[in-house]
């Protein structure tokens, strides 16, 4: 295991896409120290910014400590192994991830797990905006894997989702699952407005309150819903279909008891 | 008569503000057109204020004194309007939802009459907000 | 004063009928000369290398409002191809629509030195010229969309060819353009109200004219103006199954206009106009019919518009075509950009896939045409950048042309439609270096009417490309990958007698390149009288005085003056 | 001695009206014809106001002290070269020629580069990146549009001549002006006196406040029957633009997305389960949808009410989707009402040089783009940058104070012609010439049509253009870097602004630009 500890708190953004298990594998500590990163517009090395130590444990492969809120692109495109981040981390963590595991004990920045294909991201704090959403102009949403968030998440989470599961213990911001095609998003608490906007497929399960867009239509009431192979949630749930303006067939499961304001939809059943 | 009004604030352009900003940010026109807040008639009644009364507009992000004016064109109870400019900025928020645009329109503010409190000029407002100005 | 002597290379110069002869090329300043003082000159040892004139691209969308809109809407495309700054070069981004500096660098790396911009609306011409100024290392020119200009439609409907010619001369001059571009004649105006024309004899709504009349009229105008290039034509019904018939009709309709056996029209990206079959399911290649016609007629030149299987961006002034492409489904973005009284436009990001029956056949149609048309002076190599693929795929296209083995390798990976519905598998022709030089430089320069480009004769511009191909030892058809690499990275590119790339790397990025434009001087210049100014005010939302491109928009100007016969 | 200059371009809003008639006396603009009230304020009064900065200033002990240009440039270059991550922001009120050098400076510095569009129509650009846009130049609307929708914008205040030049109150080839009809209605409603006042408004001598005539618009059925052009205004509050419209739809704040979603459902023949959306009954929306589907050529112009309210770029995205869907039924285009006169130009210049329109980060040696990450407000909110250069913009008057407070923690360099709010806050304050008044250059209209701004008067002595200032700062930055032994770019910087004092070239002008020779010599 390689432990990286930030030597100071960073005042400008640090881009460190080199911090992945693949990149560190087979390298000596001196070689790892020499890996290039940028601090603002300065080209520096990992050793300039972090204290590096090697310990014999196998997992996790990499541990990061310190004030890392401005450190971006950690674990970018990683394929295997495990990274543990003790504290907050900056944007684009685990972007284009294709396997392995990232554990973040604090909060994650925006675009965490963006365009990820496989693997697991565990966030014990809050997830940022654009969690598991693609880069601007793309529709390459998350394809597979699992993201769990213990806290809340920001806006535009799970855009263009094409597979995989996102579980959020807290509440979610606006535009959750925007234009999602497939996959599952489960929010235990409330959602901000416009949940599931433009969705064409997939499943969003909401345990708390939310507002339904006019372009969704009620389909049925179901007693419970399966989130993944091991979890199923009991409701009862209103099931909404949408987004009609996109001719979508996405399913929005809304906890009936938490949403008495939606009772009038029952007349269409 | 209530002493506080909870309203939704919209900031935006007015032609007077446009004229004012082009004449110069230190100009009287700019001050007159920007250090104001437009109300619906009914809200003014409930607050007990008149055209030209000073009011305090407070949001989560800050608090500013401006002059109250009646909105001319239509009815907008519960909604107040401030021309964009340094005064409105004090109450605007920094929340961007990760897309670069801060909070300018459609957020809650609290308004109370502030009789006898002065509306700060641009120079004084800058000094109050940032501790410096052109002096 | 710089003097350069390129020694011992194999020169391929079809204009001067030189085919792989070992000879020296002498350069003084920015021209090729007969002889120079060897002692003073810088010597480039080109032994074992092939020397050609700098490449001349006849049709490539590299600048203008539409190209830039394409750049703006594709951040994800740039994201995968960042280009780092160096002490010599500027930074930027690449892929399907590279930023301006990168466009210049990457063309130069392939030995190209002259590029003509596909189309611009003259109202936005200043924008195009500002971008062209920021494309270094290339000479460039731009074609002006003329076919649906209201003045043209009105005058041609009344058969006022002379008046139309004067107006077109004014237009080309005020936009600092090089040639008349006609895109889906009549269709762009119809698209103003969401309609289109579907044959060359359809009426254009509100204007009492047909596409046939527009094309014929503009060819007459082009002749009257003595323009160096023919009209540059994008046919009606582009991208529609069965459109090979429209293309044949178009070519037949123009037959009688050629009196001296010279071409009267250049039909661009012919691949997209060569579809047979009533619908996409019955989609077949029309290359055989088109090539048969071209092989027996001399009044048309073509360029390929080859598809190269990449994630690219389609963009054209043909707004209705882009909308119908969008309607076929599966596209995330659609851009339409109409320009008042002049043109329309559309952009759709598009990925050509090998396993798509339509795309695979499109690929084979382009190659079929290039190989079935016997005379390489009649069809030139392009990808209609970025419509069929970005220009950095040119080496791939060349490989398919000079090597059956390369074609077979790709055919194997393609959908079976490419094999079944076209003649490509049965074609054995493999182009020689000589023919390639025609299709990429000599022929294009001739079609464009550029006497100093595309060849290495005395007096030609000192634009030279040197490739690591030894014609004596390398069988390009067999070792197509080696040759492809050679075409992708020229050993040397010389622009205006200055070495700008070496071993595929930019060594000098400070050559701005010239903007070539035509000033067709009419005997009786276009009178912009009050009536005309009033009309201008009615037609455009811009004042007449603010419309023309002023001189400062051209960084280095290369004016071609022609005497018109009106 | 007075002279009249015709066809001057107005350097204020995205309309770029190019028909101004300016009278100049003793190197001073004394009169302006054809422009709007805002134009008058700038062209006749504002540009020569007391607020003008004439010498560079540097803040010493909290006070702004006049210094020499050389000292100011050295100081600014030192700040920028020392910074690990500077931010260059603004660019909307300067010409393309200066923006080009700005990109080069940003690249040299490895800085963040953003323009004002990130707080106005950046969301529109982002929406275009997600979904494309069916757009057209303004003349296309003028000639063809029989349905004009102004959504969440108030052109009467922000683009005063938009209606008159490009939409309802202008005549085109296929559609005629509704001005007469409006006047008749106005007459019928409020008599002669009020008409005079309205015509005064149209003549733009007075700001458009006055009569309390309420045209809430006839009911939607009337909307369908009315011949000629129709104008619909959708907004959260009634504005003067709504007054002149045929129909006004007042929706609840922050509900644009829902209303447009409902319209999209109606256009695609879907049933809607709710009765009201955003405070509007579905039946009313159905009428609007019908009007949209039954027009020959429809257009939606949208403003900051969409880009700044809840949903930001998703609002635009859905509005574009509506326009796109409508193209299956008829011809429909949609267009943002870009604010500053050259904010579109900044997007375009940045895009052709880097591939990206705004929110660019050069810290990696190549451009990276991500609004939300590299946009000015986000950078400042997180406190990522450590120096700021503001040019041709006034975030002091347009950024929330909470954001500005973060900007004030680091050195601030400003380049603006007059003492606006941000200049008042600067550490190094440069004066600049007014582009479009004191020097010429290229600006891009809201529909990306490039227009050359004119020079009408001479600038005060010693005040430089934005291009010259940036070039000198860039040169100085390079000198500092060379001293430190760092590699620098080598592109030579040649300011190239047009000289529009010469008459426009006619067809016969054989003029060969001077640069040709020079460049050729250089090549030799």
pLDDT value for D512: 37
Q: Is D81 within 8 Å of D322 (Cβ atoms)?
A: no
CB atoms B61 and D376 under 8 Å: no
What is the pLDDT averaged over residues C190-197?
95
Q: D287 — phi, psi (to 5°)?
A: -65, -40
Which of the other chains make 3 or more beta carbon contacts under 8 angstroms with chain D?
Answer: A, B, C
Which of the other chains make 3 or more beta carbon contacts under 8 angstroms with chain B?
Answer: A, D
Angle between helices C244-254 and C211-225 (to 10 degrees): 40
CB atoms B98 and A129 under 8 Å: yes
Decide if A70 touches D, using CB distance below 8 A.
yes
Q: DSSP class of residue C442?
A: I
With an 8 Å CB cutoff and a minimum of 3 pairs, decide whether chains A and C touch: yes
Nearest CB neighbour to B15, from listed D207, D254, D419: D207
pLDDT value for A109: 95
**Residues of chain A found within 8 Å of residue D273, distances taken between Cβ atoms:** 214, 216-218, 265, 268
What is the pLDDT averaged over residues C533-543?
91
Angle at C377 between CA C372 and CA C383, to 5 degrees: 70
Decide if A40 touches D, using CB distance below 8 A.
yes
CB atoms A136 and C75 under 8 Å: yes
3-state secondary structure of A195: coil
Decide if D450 touches C, using CB distance below 8 A.
yes
pLDDT value for D494: 52
CB atoms D258 and A213 under 8 Å: yes
C-alpha A59: how far from its chain's center? 22
pLDDT in tens, D224-239: 667 789 999 999 999 9
Nearest CB neighbour to D488, from listed C87, C99, C525: C87
Shortest Cα distance, chain A CAs vs residue B99, angstroms: 9
| Inter-chain contacts counted by CB atoms under 8 A, chains C and D | 255
pLDDT band at D503 (very low <50, low <70, confident <90, very high): very low
Structural domains for chain D: 53-120+341-503 (3.40.50.740), 122-336 (3.40.228.10)
CB atoms C332 and A139 under 8 Å: yes
Q: Of D517 and C190, which is predicted with more confidence?
A: C190
Shortest Cα distance, chain C CAs vs residue D107, angstroms: 7
- The CATH number of B5-130, from 1.10.10.60, 2.40.40.20, 2.40.50.140, 2.60.40.2240, is 2.40.40.20
Mean pLDDT over each residue of chain B, to the nearest integer: 92
**pLDDT at residue D204 above 80?**
no
- Count of all residues that appear for chain C in the document: 566
Give chain D's count of helices (H) and strands (E). 21, 22
What is the pLDDT averaged over residues D189-214?
50
Those residues whose C-beta lies under 8 Å from the C-beta of residue C340, and which sit 6 or more positions away, are: C123, C539, C540, C541, D136, D137, D138, D139, D140, D142, D143
pLDDT value for C457: 96
CA–CA separation, C355 and D164 (whole Å)? 53
Residue of A nearest to C333 (CA): A137
Q: How far is CA C335 from CA A140, C282, C346, D357, in A?
A: 20, 28, 5, 16
Nearest CB neighbour to D137, from listed C93, C339, C497: C339
Residue of A nearest to C330 (CA): A139
What is the pLDDT averaged over residues A167-173?
96
3-state secondary structure of B75: coil
pLDDT value for D182: 83
- Best interface-test mutation with A: which of D265, D367, D375 has the largest number of A CBs within 10 A? D265
CB atoms D41 and B74 under 8 Å: no
C-alpha D273: how far from its chain's center? 40
What is the pLDDT averaged over residues C429-440?
97
pLDDT in tens, C442-483: 999 999 999 999 999 999 999 999 999 999 999 999 999 999
Shortest Cα distance, chain B CAs vs residue D409, angstroms: 10
Tokens coding D449: 């049509």
Decide if D375 touches B, using CB distance below 8 A.
yes
pLDDT value for C527: 72
pLDDT value for A33: 95
Q: What percent of chain C has pLDDT over 90?
A: 93
Shortest Cα distance, chain D CAs vs residue B90, angstroms: 5
pLDDT value for D184: 82
Range with the poorest average pLDDT among D122-136, D201-215, D491-505: D201-215
CB atoms D304 and B104 under 8 Å: yes
Decide if B123 touches D, using CB distance below 8 A.
yes
**Residues of chain B found within 8 Å of residue A173, distances taken between Cβ atoms:** 97
CB atoms C543 and D365 under 8 Å: no
3-state secondary structure of C207: coil
Nearest CB neighbour to D19, from listed C525, C543, C552: C543
Residue of D nearest to B121 (CA): D421
Q: What is the ipTM of this complex?
A: 0.96
pLDDT value for D203: 53
pLDDT band at D206 (very low <50, low <70, confident <90, very high): very low
pLDDT value for D223: 63
- Where along chain B do its domains lie? 5-130
pLDDT in tens, B57-87: 999 999 999 999 999 887 788 999 999 999 9
pLDDT value for D205: 44
pLDDT in tens, C150-170: 999 999 999 999 999 999 999
- The sign one gets for the Cα dihedral D267, D270, D275, D276 is negative
Segment 84-113 of chain B within 8 Å of chain D by CB = 84-86, 89-90, 92-94, 96-106
CB atoms D314 and A40 under 8 Å: no
Q: Is A236 within 8 Å of A223 (Cβ atoms)?
A: yes
**pLDDT at residue D222 above 70?**
no
Q: Is C361 within 8 Å of C419 (Cβ atoms)?
A: no
**pLDDT at residue D65 above 60?**
yes
CA–CA separation, C235 and C147 (whole Å)? 11
Decide if B97 touches A, using CB distance below 8 A.
yes
CA–CA separation, D329 and D187 (whole Å)? 37
Which of the other chains make 3 or more beta carbon contacts under 8 angstroms with chain C?
Answer: A, D
- The sign one gets for the Cα dihedral C46, C49, C52, C57 is negative
Q: What percent of chain D has pLDDT over 90?
A: 78
Decide if C510 touches D, using CB distance below 8 A.
yes
**Residues of chain A found within 8 Å of residue D271, distances taken between Cβ atoms:** 217
pLDDT value for D15: 95
Decide if B98 touches A, using CB distance below 8 A.
yes
Shortest Cα distance, chain A CAs vs residue D210, angstroms: 39
Nearest CB neighbour to A215, from listed D110, D261, D372: D261
Segment 418-447 of chain D within 8 Å of chain C by CB = 442, 444
Nearest CB neighbour to B62, from listed D371, D397, D402: D402
Q: How far is CA B1 from CA A29, B44, B46, B113, C183, in A?
A: 73, 10, 5, 11, 69
**pLDDT at residue C331 above 50?**
yes
CB atoms D173 and C87 under 8 Å: no
Helix (H) or strand (E) holding C8: strand C3-13
From chain A, which residues contact C within 8 Å (Cβ)? 134-140
Q: Which class is A2-216 in CATH?
A: mainly beta
Q: Are strands A250-255 and A232-242 parallel, antiparallel or unpaired?
A: antiparallel
pLDDT value for B73: 82
From chain C, which residues contact A within 8 Å (Cβ)? 73-77, 79, 332-333
What is the pLDDT averaged over residues D245-257?
91
Segment 374-393 of chain D within 8 Å of chain A by CB = 382-386
For chain D, what is the radius of gyration of the CA atoms?
A: 25
Residue of B nearest to A155 (CA): B97
pLDDT value for B72: 85
Decide if B81 touches D, using CB distance below 8 A.
yes
**Residues of chain C found within 8 Å of residue A136, distances taken between Cβ atoms:** 75-76
**Residues of chain A found within 8 Å of residue D284, distances taken between Cβ atoms:** none
For chain C, what is the radius of gyration of the CA atoms?
A: 22
Mean pLDDT over each residue of chain D, to the nearest integer: 88
**Residues of chain B found within 8 Å of residue A137, distances taken between Cβ atoms:** none
Shortest Cα distance, chain C CAs vs residue A76, angstroms: 14
């Amino acid at each position: 295991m390689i432990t990286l500890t930030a030597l100071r708190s960073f005042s400008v953004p640090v881009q460190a896409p080199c911090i992945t298990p693949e990149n560190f594998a087979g390298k000596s500590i001196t070689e790892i120290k020499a890996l290039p990163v940028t601090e603002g517009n300065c080209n520096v090395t990992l050793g300039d910014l972090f204290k590096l130590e090697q310990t014999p444990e196998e997992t996790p492969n990499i541990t990061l400590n310190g004030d890392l809120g401005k450190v971006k692109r950690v674990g970018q495109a990683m394929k295997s192994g495990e990274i543990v981040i003790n504290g907050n981390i900056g944007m684009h963590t685990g972007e284009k991830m294709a396997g392995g595991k990232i554990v973040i004990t604090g909060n994650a920045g925006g675009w965490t797990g963006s365009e990820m294909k496989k693997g697991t991201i565990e966030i014990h704090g809050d997830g940022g905006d654009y969690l598991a959403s693609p880069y601007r102009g793309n529709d390459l949403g998350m394809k597979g894997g699992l993201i769990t968030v213990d806290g809340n998440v920001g806006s535009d989470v799970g855009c263009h989702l094409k597979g995989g599961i996102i579980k959020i213990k807290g509440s979610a911001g606006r535009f959750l699952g925007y234009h999602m095609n497939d996959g599952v998003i489960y929010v235990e608490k409330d959602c901000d407005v416009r949940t599931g906007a433009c969705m064409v497929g997939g499943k969003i399960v909401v345990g708390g309150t939310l507002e339904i867009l006019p372009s969704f239509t009620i389909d049925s009431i179901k007693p419970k819903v399966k989130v993944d192979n091991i979890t199923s949630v009991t409701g009862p749930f209103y099931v909404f279909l949408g987004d009609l303006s996109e001719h979508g067939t996405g399913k929005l499961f809304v906890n009936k008891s938490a949403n008495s304001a939606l009772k009038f939809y029952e007349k269409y059943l | 008569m209530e002493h506080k009004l909870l309203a939704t604030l919209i900031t935006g352009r007015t032609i007077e503000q446009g004229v004012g900003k082009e004449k110069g940010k230190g100009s009287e026109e700019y001050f007159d057109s920007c250090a104001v807040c437009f109300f619906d008639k009914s809200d003014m009644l409930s607050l007990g204020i008149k055209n030209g009364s000073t009011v305090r507009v407070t949001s989560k992000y800050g608090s500013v004194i401006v002059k109250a004016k009646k909105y001319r064109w239509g009815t907008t109870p519960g909604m107040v309007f401030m021309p964009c400019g340094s005064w409105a900025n004090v109450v605007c928020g920094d929340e961007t939802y990760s897309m670069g645009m801060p909070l300018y329109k459609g957020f809650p503010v609290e308004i109370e009459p502030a009789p006898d409190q002065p509306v700060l000029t641009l120079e004084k407002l800058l000094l109050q907000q940032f501790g410096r100005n052109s002096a | 004063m710089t003097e350069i002597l390129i020694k011992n290379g194999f020169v391929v110069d079809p204009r001067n009928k030189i085919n792989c002869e070992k000879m020296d090329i002498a350069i003084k300043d920015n021209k090729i000369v007969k002889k120079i003082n060897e002692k003073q000159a810088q010597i480039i040892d080109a032994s074992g290398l092939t020397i050609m004139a700098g490449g001349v691209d006849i049709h490539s969308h590299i600048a203008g409002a539409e190209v830039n809109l394409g750049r703006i809407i594709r951040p994800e495309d740039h994201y995968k191809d960042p280009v780092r700054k160096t002490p010599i070069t500027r930074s930027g981004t690449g892929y399907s629509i590279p930023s301006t500096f990168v466009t210049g660098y990457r063309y130069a790396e392939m030995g190209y030195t002259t590029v003509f911009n596909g189309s611009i609306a003259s109202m936005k011409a200043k924008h195009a010229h500002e971008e062209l100024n920021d494309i270094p290392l290339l000479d460039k020119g731009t074609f002006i969309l003329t076919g649906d200009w209201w003045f043209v439609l009105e005058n041609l409907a009344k058969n006022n060819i002379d008046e139309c010619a004067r107006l077109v001369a004014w237009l080309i001059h005020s936009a600092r353009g090089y040639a008349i571009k006609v895109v889906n004649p009549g269709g762009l105006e119809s698209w103003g109200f969401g309609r289109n024309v579907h044959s060359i004899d359809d009426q254009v709504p509100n204007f009492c004219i047909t596409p046939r009349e527009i094309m014929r009229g503009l060819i007459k105008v082009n002749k009257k103006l003595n323009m160096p290039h023919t009209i540059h034509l994008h046919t009606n019904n582009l991208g529609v199954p069965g459109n090979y018939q429209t293309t044949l009709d178009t070519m037949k309709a123009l037959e009688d206009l050629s009196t001296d056996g010279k071409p009267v029209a250049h039909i661009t990206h012919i691949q997209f106009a060569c579809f047979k079959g009533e619908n996409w399911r019955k989609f077949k290649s029309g290359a055989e019919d088109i090539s048969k016609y071209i092989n027996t007629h001399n009044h048309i030149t073509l360029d390929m518009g080859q598809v190269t299987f990449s994630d690219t961006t389609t963009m054209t002034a043909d707004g209705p075509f882009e909308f119908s492409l969008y309607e076929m489904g599966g596209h995330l973005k659609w851009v339409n950009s109409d320009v008042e009284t002049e043109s329309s436009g559309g952009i759709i990001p598009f990925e050509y896939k090998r396993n798509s029956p339509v795309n695979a056949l499109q690929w084979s149609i382009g190659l079929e045409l290039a190989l079935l048309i016997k005379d390489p002076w009649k069809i030139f190599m392009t990808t209609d950048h970025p419509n069929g693929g970005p220009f950095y795929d040119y080496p791939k296209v060349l490989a398919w042309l000079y090597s059956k083995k390369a074609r077979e390798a790709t055919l194997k990976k393609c959908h079976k439609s490419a094999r079944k519905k076209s003649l490509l598998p049965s074609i054995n022709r493999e182009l020689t270096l000589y023919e390639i030089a025609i299709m990429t430089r000599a022929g294009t320069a001739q079609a464009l009417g550029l006497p100093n480009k595309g060849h290495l004769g005395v007096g030609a511009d000192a634009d030279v490309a040197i490739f690591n191909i030894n014609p004596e030892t390398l069988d390009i058809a067999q070792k197509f990958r080696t040759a492809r690499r050679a075409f992708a990275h020229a050993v040397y590119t010389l622009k205006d007698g200055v070495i700008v790339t070496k071993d595929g790397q930019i060594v000098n990025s400070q050559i701005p390149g010239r903007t070539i434009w035509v000033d067709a001087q009419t005997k009786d210049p276009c009178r912009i009288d009050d009536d005309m100014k009033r009309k201008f005010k009615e037609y455009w939302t811009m004042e007449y005085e603010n419309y023309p491109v002023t001189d400062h928009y051209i960084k280095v100007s290369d004016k071609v003056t022609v005497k018109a016969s009106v | 001695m007075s002279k009249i200059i015709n066809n001057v371009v107005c350097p204020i809003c995205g309309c770029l009206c190019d028909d101004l008639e300016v009278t100049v006396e003793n190197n001073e603009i004394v009169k302006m014809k054809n422009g709007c009230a805002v134009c008058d304020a700038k062209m006749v009064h504002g540009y020569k106001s007391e607020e003008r900065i004439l010498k560079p200033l540097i803040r010493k002990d909290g006070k702004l002290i006049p210094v020499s240009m050389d000292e100011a440039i050295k100081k600014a270059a030192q700040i920028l070269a020392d910074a690990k991550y500077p931010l260059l922001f603004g660019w909307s009120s300067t010409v393309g020629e200066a923006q080009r050098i700005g990109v080069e400076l940003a690249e040299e510095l490895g800085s963040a580069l953003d323009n004002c569009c990130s707080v106005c129509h950046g969301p529109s650009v982002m929406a275009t990146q997600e979904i494309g846009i069916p757009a057209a130049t303004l003349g296309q609307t003028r000639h063809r549009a029989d349905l004009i929708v102004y959504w969440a914008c108030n052109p009467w205040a922000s683009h005063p001549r938009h209606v008159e030049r490009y939409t309802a109150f202008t005549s085109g080839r296929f559609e005629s002006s509704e001005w007469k009809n409006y006047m008749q209605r106005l007459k019928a409603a409020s008599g002669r006196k009020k008409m005079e006042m309205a015509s005064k408004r149209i003549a733009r001598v007075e700001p458009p406040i006055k009569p309390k005539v309420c045209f809430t618009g006839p009911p939607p059925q009337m909307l369908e029957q009315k011949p000629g052009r129709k104008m619909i205004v959708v907004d959260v509050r009634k504005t003067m633009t709504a007054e002149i419209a045929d129909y006004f739809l007042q929706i609840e704040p922050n509900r644009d997305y829902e209303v447009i979603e409902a319209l999209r459902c109606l256009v695609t023949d879907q049933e809607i389960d709710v009765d009201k959306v955003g405070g509007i009954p579905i039946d009313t929306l159905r009428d609007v949808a019908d009007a949209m589907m039954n027009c020959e050529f429809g257009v939606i112009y949208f403003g900051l009410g969409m880009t700044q309210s809840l949903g930001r770029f998703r609002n635009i995205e859905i509005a574009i989707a509506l326009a796109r869907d409508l193209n299956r039924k008829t011809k429909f285009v949609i267009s943002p009402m870009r604010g500053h006169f050259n904010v579109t130009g900044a997007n375009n210049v940045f895009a052709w040089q880097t591939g990206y329109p705004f929110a660019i980060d050069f810290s990696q040696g190549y451009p990276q783009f991500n609004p939300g990450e590299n946009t000015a407000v986000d950078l400042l909110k997180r406190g990522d940058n450590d120096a700021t250069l503001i040019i041709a913009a006034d975030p002091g008057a347009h950024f929330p104070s909470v954001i500005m407070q973060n900007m004030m923690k680091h050195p601030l360099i400003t380049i603006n012609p007059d003492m606006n709010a941000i200049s008042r806050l600067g550490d190094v304050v440069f004066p600049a010439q007014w582009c479009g008044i004191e020097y010429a250059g290229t600006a891009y209209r809201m529909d990306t049509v490039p227009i050359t701004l004119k020079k009408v008067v001479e600038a005060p002595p010693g005040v430089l253009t934005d291009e010259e200032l940036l070039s000198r700062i860039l040169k100085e930055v390079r000198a500092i870097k060379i001293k430190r032994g760092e590699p620098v770019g080598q592109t030579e910087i040649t300011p190239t602004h047009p000289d529009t004092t010469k008459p426009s070239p006619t067809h016969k002008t054989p003029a060969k630009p001077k640069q040709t020779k020079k460049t050729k010599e250089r090549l030799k």
